Structure formats: C-alpha cells, structure tokens
Amino acid sequence: ASADTNHPVKQGLFGIFEVFTATILICTLTALVILCSGTKFTYGVAAGAELSISGFTSTYGGWVSILTAVALCCFAFSTILGWGLYGSRCIEFLFGPKIIKPFMVVYSLVAIIGATADLGVIWSVAETFNGLMAIPNLIALFLLSGTVVRLVKDYFTKGIYKNDRAA
C-alpha cells in the first residue's frame, strides 16, 4: 500500500519474507513453547493471549509475562494501523479519495466496538471476514498470474536484482 521500491518483484520478495518470518518462525516457536511448557489447555477452547503468556511464563519465568504482554500489545496496535491503511487505500481505489475520511470514522468506531464487545463474537466475525478475503485474493492471483510470471522473469533475467543490492 505504501511501498517505496523500484520494482514490484523486490517488494513481493520482501512480502514473502515477512509472511515466512511471522507465520512459520514466530507462530511455530510460540506453539512449541506452549506445547513444551506443560501449560494445561483444552483443545478447541479459544485461549488466545492468555495461553501464550502462560506458556512463556512457565517456561522462562514470571518476568516474561510483561515482555509478552507488551509484544502482544505492539502487535495488536500495528495490526490495527496496518489494516486501517490497507482498508483506506482499497476504499480510495474503489470509490475515490473523498470516501477516506468517512471510512476512517467508521473504522475507528468499529475498532471501539471490537475492543468492548464479547471476545468470542469478535473472533468469529474477524475469522469469517478474513476467510472471505481469500475469495477476491484468489481471483486476483489467477487473473494476474501471467503478469507476475512476466515480471519475475524480467527481474531476474535482466539482472535488476543485482542493481538493488548495490544501491
């Protein structure tokens, strides 16, 4: 949404790195800490942040609960900001720049509702809409696949990536 790059493939490669780091490394390590910590939990029961904090605390000691809570707050805050930015860019693309301010007002109100409503309902709604986002994304991936292949070949065959390393 706000990348400063000279080639879209360069940004795409960084995006792959981000997803790999967050999903594969961080989530897997968190799951391993929880599973190896001996923390009691019931499968199928949403425990969220409490489960992570409990796993890290029983593995590394009480001081980690503060560090984990701060990290979770930073992650949540950056997620809210990122989704707001992505949403405003998409709304601007679809409807023009005049709709950004009303969107941000509605987005802020929804964030307040999300912070004060029943957590189970909020997670169900969030998971439903996250799942539904796969539909337009998969359609776009299919329609743009030829362009992506062409850009990747262009990026690597012309040696553009070598100029990126020198810069």
- The pTM (predicted TM-score) of the whole model is 0.65
Per-chain mean pLDDT for the chain: 85
Give the whole-angstrom CA distance, residue 121 versus residue 22. Answer: 25
What CA–CA distance (Å, rounded) separates 137 from 134?
5
| Amino acid letter, 85 | L
Query: What are the boundaries of each domain within the chain?
Result: 140-167
| CA 133/CA 56 separation, integer angstroms | 32
- Residue 130 pLDDT exceeds 90: no
Task: State the pLDDT confidence band at 107, using cuts at 50, 70 and 90.
Answer: very high
Mean pLDDT value of segment 71-76: 87
Structure tokens at 29: 């390590």
Other beta carbons within 10 Å of 17: 10
